Amino acid sequence: MDEPSSRDPTERGGLGGAAAPPGVAPSRACAYAVVRRVFEGGAWADRALHGEARRLRLDPRDLALATRLSYGTVQRVATLDHVIETLSGRSTNKLDKPVLAALRLGVFQLTYLDRVPAHAAVGESVELAKRDAPRGAGLVNAVLRRAGREARGLVAKLKDTTPQQAALAHSHPEWIAQLWFDALGAPDARALMAADNEPAEAVLRANTLKTTAPELLERLSIEARLDGDALILDDAFDAFSSREWEDGLLMPQSRGAMAVARLLDPQPGDRVLDLCAAPGGKTTHLAALMGNEGEIVAVEQHPGRADSLRKTAARMGATIVDVHTGDAAQPHAKNFDRVLVDPPCSDLGTLASRPDARWRKAGRPEALSELQQQILRAGANALRPGGTLVYSTCTISPAENEQVVSAFLATHPEFTVDDLGTRLPLWKHPTMPQHLQTLPHRDRTDGFFIARLRRDA
Ligand SMILES: C[S@@+](CC[C@H](N)C(=O)[O-])C[C@H]1O[C@@H](n2cnc3c(N)ncnc32)[C@H](O)[C@@H]1O
């Protein structure tokens, strides 16, 4: 999970009006505004939600519902639009934007949520449309009343035998469905797409430079189970608004992401090179595992993200982190004991927690693998003989993962691969068991690829 930007433009208001209209629950008004910002303004769903929730002053319960409503609607939009077009007889391209947003939100609730009363899903969507597009409110009312009777049946009839059918039934772009049918086989591809539409597991890492997991749990007074330095939460929690976040006591981070620093296994006193480091979840984890003894050179190209990483490291008391703003693909100083290469990737392992990511055009695997290979080579050059390198991505895509590592090994005989398959038995790579590939439907965490290499000479 990424840290939201320090200044969220959605806080300034605009789309969706300043307050919940009379008769509309704040959680639904919030979700409607988020859906509009994502599809009309290109906003990131997590940032839009953060801004809207603050503006509407949502309490934790309302925030949990707003998250479910907005994330679910954004994720399932392809299936929702199919239902809307079938029931209205119109193309969604022809509908006014507020009408479409109100319909999507209403159809999502009527089709996928069991505990939301139909009258609230219909009535409040109509109120939202009345405020922003009064002439469309009749259409919203008519389509949602039909949806209450027919939408679940329509969706139940959708097949997912081919990638094209699965893309519609599980609301993913066709290219992702095709990629996963090819890489994982149809049963895993279908299960993975279904898992992407469920709420992501919420996990916090206790920053052991400042606290312990049991202490943090007591301080937050939330329900969670402990797993080492991780708190696995029963419910969503707005970490970025908490006092404990301000105090640097925690980092929201999935279990898959936490496995990366653990498997690099840095020791106190090591010199560590961390390539592509912002927002710094893994950098600060490395510092904690090292007990703040040694040195971490964290390289990040984007100046704003590098600055924010410096602030994060300071807030979390990770004093051994030295942030360099620069290109990780260029040569670095030599003789590091450990190197982490965590390059930009297509993010396909995080579609449950980043609901809009699947609909963005940027970040296709084929466009990324060349840069990933360059950064891996630069990191490998900086490693001392006998040192350890971890290559990780938060994606499920052979072109960015196993093919990058295989191409590297083919030209670097001085490197060997560690067998990680026996360490975390659940998380074996489906076809290359020495690597780890977490899969959301199987492991209930983000999809991370992790390969660990050793330099022999
Ligand atoms: C997958 S994220 C890294 C996540 C980070 N390691 C963490 O655990 O929080 C990739 C990062 O690489 C940065 N980046 C992209 N291209 C880069 C390059 N050529 N050199 C250095 N950083 C780069 C991006 O700005 C982004 O912050």
Atom of ligand 1 minimally distant from the CA of 274: 6
| Cβ of 300 below 6 Å from ligand 1 | yes
Whole-number Å distance, alpha carbon 274 to ligand 1 midpoint, is: 10
Predicted local distance difference test score (pLDDT) of residue 424? 61
* Cα end-to-end distance, the chain, whole Å: 37
Which segments are annotated as binding site for S-adenosyl-L-methionine?
Answer: 276-282, 300, 342
Give residue-wise pLDDT tens across range 325-344: 999 999 999 999 999 999 99
Indicate if the pLDDT at residue 401 is higher than 70.
yes
Specify the amino acid at residue 310: R
How far apart (Å, rounded) are the C-alpha atoms in residues 135 and 196?
35
Largest Cα span, the chain = 73
Question: Are 237 and 281 part of one and the same domain?
Answer: no
Q: Give the CATH number of the domain where residue 32 resides.
A: 1.10.940.10
Residue 3 lies in a domain: no
Give residue-wise pLDDT tens across range 276-314: 999 999 999 999 999 999 999 999 999 999 999 999 999
Give residue-wise pLDDT tens across range 161-213: 999 999 999 999 999 999 999 999 999 999 999 999 999 999 999 999 999 99
Residue 2 lies in a domain: no
Whole-number Å distance, alpha carbon 341 to ligand 1 midpoint, is: 9
Residue 1 lies in a domain: no
Catalytic residue set:
394
Helix (H, G, I), strand (E, B) or coil at 432: coil
Question: Are 266 and 277 part of one and the same domain?
Answer: yes
pTM: 0.93
The total number of structural domains in the chain stands at: 4
Q: Give the CATH number of the domain where residue 301 resides.
A: 3.40.50.150
Residue 403 lies in a domain: yes
Alpha helices in 56-136 (DSSP H): 60-75, 77-88, 97-112, 118-132
| Cβ of 253 below 6 Å from ligand 1 | no
Question: Are 106 and 189 part of one and the same domain?
Answer: no
Its domain, for residue 169, covers 159-197
Give residue-wise pLDDT tens across range 106-130: 999 999 999 889 999 999 999 999 9
Alpha helices in 228-364 (DSSP H): 243-246, 255-264, 281-289, 303-315
Atom of ligand 1 minimally distant from the CA of 342: 6
Residue 4 lies in a domain: no
Question: Are 91 and 213 part of one and the same domain?
Answer: no
Q: What is the CA radius of gyration of the chain?
A: 23
Question: Are 380 and 426 part of one and the same domain?
Answer: yes
Question: Are 280 and 424 part of one and the same domain?
Answer: yes
Pocket test for ligand 1, best of 301, 309, 354 (most atoms within 8 A of CB): 301
352 touches 180 (CB < 8 A): no
Question: Are 170 and 271 part of one and the same domain?
Answer: no
Question: Are 270 and 243 part of one and the same domain?
Answer: no
Question: Are 322 and 210 part of one and the same domain?
Answer: no
How far apart (Å, rounded) are the C-alpha atoms in residues 175 and 335?
41
| Cβ of 303 below 6 Å from ligand 1 | no
Question: Are 106 and 241 part of one and the same domain?
Answer: no
